Amino acid sequence: MKNDVIIIVEGPQGVGKTTFTNYLRENMAATDLHRLSGIKDRTETGLAKIRTKYEKLIAYMENCEDINMIFDRTFFTNEVYSRLGYQNYSFNETYQSLLSKLDNMKNADKYDIYLVMAYLQDESLYEVRIKRDKHQYQKFDPESSIKQQREYLKMADEVGKQTKNIKVIRFANDTEEMFKENVQKYFGQYFK
């Protein structure tokens, strides 16, 4: 086990990212939890802004020491949203650059880097889970979450083949029992 852990949790709305990242934060020592979102500007100008945001985030990761970091969404979400046409620009070139920077961070040998793709084996569960009492910046429905899930899982395969320092985990999160079993299996060694 290395000194520091970086865990990036990705997945569609309703898959349980907030519950998952909160659980990790509460059960891992010396852990910062970062909840990220994109930016409002979905134009070409927004592309430059979001690229700068994530380049600075990776530089921040590189310079942290003696801390575990958990991220609830990062640039992987921007790529999925771009692939699904939610943005007015292609994010792929920026995504590939950021993925390479994450995979090849300076001092990468001191980190365990995980990309966790949370998903539901039973996609019909989104029908219940997507109903929230939270403010919505964008209208989401079960079909949107299902399309996103399929794209995130494709991305998991791509990242697994393309990177050498990022451990990709497909994290099924259908039930509380499944959640507890998987979180212990993959991250139990890091708990207090």
Decide if pLDDT at 2 tops 60: no
Give the CA diameter of the chain. Answer: 44
Each residue of 73-130: pLDDT tens digit?
999 999 999 999 988 889 999 999 999 999 999 877 788 999 999 999 999 999 988 8
Q: Which residue is associated with the tokens 């290395």?
A: 2
Predicted pLDDT at 98? 98
Residues 85-96: tens digit of each pLDDT: 988 889 999 999
Q: Domain extents for the chain? A: 4-190
How many CB atoms are located within 10 Å of the residue 45 CB? 11
The DSSP call for residue 28 is B
Q: What is the pTM of this model?
A: 0.93
* Radius of gyration of the CA atoms of the chain, in A: 16
C-alpha 164, offset from chain centre: 18
Tell me the C-alpha distance between 46 and 59, whole Å.
20
Look at residue 28 and tell me whether its pLDDT is greater than 90.
yes
Percentage of residues of the chain with pLDDT beyond 70: 94
The residue type of 71 is F
Percent over 90 (pLDDT), the chain: 75
CATH architecture for the domain at 4-190: 3-Layer(aba) Sandwich (3.40)
